[in-house]
Amino acid sequence: MESYKYVIIGGGLAGGRASEGIRKVDTEGTTALVTGEHHMPYERPPLSKGYLTGKEGLDHVYLKEEVYYAQNNIEVISGVRATKVDPAARNVTLDDGRVLGYEKLLLATGGHAWRLPIPGHDLPGVFTLRTIEDADGIREAAGAGKRALVMGGSFIGSEVASSLAQLELNVAMVFPDTRLLERIVPEELSTFLQVKYEANGVRILARTKPDRLEGNGKVERVKLDNGETLDVELVVMGVGIRLDTELARDAGLELGEKGAVVVDEYLRTSDPNIYAAGDIAAWPDPTFGKRLRVEHWDVARRQGLRAGRNMAGEEKPYTTLPYFFSDLFDFSFEVWGDLTAWDQTVLRGTLEGGSFALYYFDRGRMVGVLAAGRPDQERKPMQVLVKARPPYEDVAAKLSDEGVDLATLVE
């Protein structure tokens, strides 16, 4: 059995950043990173945006050049999956038969794209998007003038539809919700986005589901539940992920909703020698006073780093306000806070003017802000405001008045 001080399972963003975090605190402790993928650690946002459209190469996808891991004595074991964690013996079994001993272990196993199990879901030409290979497959199948169906009206679906339209495909989007990004944005922003999508040639079919995919040896048609049949050359399913937490479950670690791994403020699981970070980790968030789990880039990035540093002995709590971003055609926005539940928004600026912030409230308290094109000096106060979670009646009128300096609201 080979023994390491630190073992990381997962070569996504959280795993990769954890290896960096360990090295910031402990320059010597033996470290192995096990990843089921045949790649150095990488991040996924470019896969639905610049990498998919061909504007960016793999250099925008990998976290570090390969030489970084060698220079920092981080052994990356790629193309190999961990099959078992034994917390009592403190070791991990790999599918190539190796057993790695550890002192501290990180689970950063993320998730895999869900494939809606409708008839024809496994026909060639039907894709999901999670990995570099998935993005390569979609790029290869995509070509100007081809007809694509994108399933899903949340982030992955919206970003893929935008990218495919930019590659000059004829794109239709279907989703069961009543409007684009329904759970995340208010109606006025959905409408604004829908106009943009349609202006770029994307046909949007809300409240619609595909019943079956058909074709002879590859996908050729989609039958929708509204009775319509669409001819297609490719289909991308952007219908969410399933967490890969079987290792944690089988090791007897405490799990929460959707099989998420429950961690404390130090990102430690119910076993003090095992940490978890990224998409799989449900942590106690101090701003909202509840457990959060977020499937976004910034959380994986910061939690990975924090978990690595904590494993190496730094022991600081994870307190960062959740943040994410998205790019849809020429529209980029950022979000701070927790938008899983909200019932009211306040708009500052105008959507048409391209510079606005939507402040979200849930039961009278601020829970987040979505901002696009706002002046730089508002970035900090926005985050301070969300952290302070002021009551709606105290701030709504001032927020909507651009004449009121945001900084005066956070004093």
Footprint of ligand FAD (CB under 6 A): 9-15, 34-37, 44-45, 47-48, 81-82, 108-111, 129-130, 156, 244, 247, 278-279, 295-298, 300, 324-326
Question: Distance between CA 352 and CA 42 in Å, rounded?
Answer: 36
Nearer to ligand FAD, 300 or 357 (CB): 300
CB neighbour list of residue 350: distance below 8 Å, 6 or more residues apart: 356
CB of 34 to ligand FAD, least distance (A): 5
Distance in Å, CB of 186 to ligand FAD, minimum: 20
CB of 82 to ligand FAD, least distance (A): 4
Q: Is 233 or 279 the residue whose CB approaches ligand FAD more closely?
A: 279
In the complex, minimum distance from the CB of residue 79 to ligand FAD, in angstroms, rounded to a whole number: 9
Nearer to ligand FAD, 273 or 332 (CB): 332
Instruction: State the nearest-atom distance from the C-beta of 160 to ligand FAD, in Å.
Output: 8
Q: Which strands sit side by side in the sheet containing 261-262, from one edge to the other? A: 261-262, 281-285, 290-292
Cα Rg of the chain (Å, integer): 22
Shorter beta-carbon distance to ligand FAD: residue 244 or 362: 244
For residue 102, CA distances in Å to 8, 92, 190, 255 come to 9, 8, 48, 22
**Residue-by-residue DSSP string for 226-290:** TS-EEE-SEEEE---EEE--HHHHHTT--B-GGGPEE--TTSB-SSTTEEE-GGGEEEEETTTTE
Among residues 125 and 322, whose Cβ is nearest to ligand FAD? 322
Query: What are the backbone angles phi and psi of residue 117, rounded to the nearest 5°?
Result: -80, 55
Those residues with Cβ within 8 angstroms of residue 80's Cβ, 6 or more apart along the chain or in another chain = 34, 35, 36, 94, 95, 96, 98
Q: Which is nearer to ligand FAD, 129 or 274 (CB)?
A: 129
Rounded CA separation 174/43 (Å): 27
CB of 258 to ligand FAD, least distance (A): 14
The rounded distance, in Å, linking the Cα atoms of 31 and 309 is 13
Which residue's CB is nearer to ligand FAD, number 148 or number 346?
A: 148
CB of residue 278 to ligand FAD, shortest distance in Å? 2
| Residue type for position 127 | F
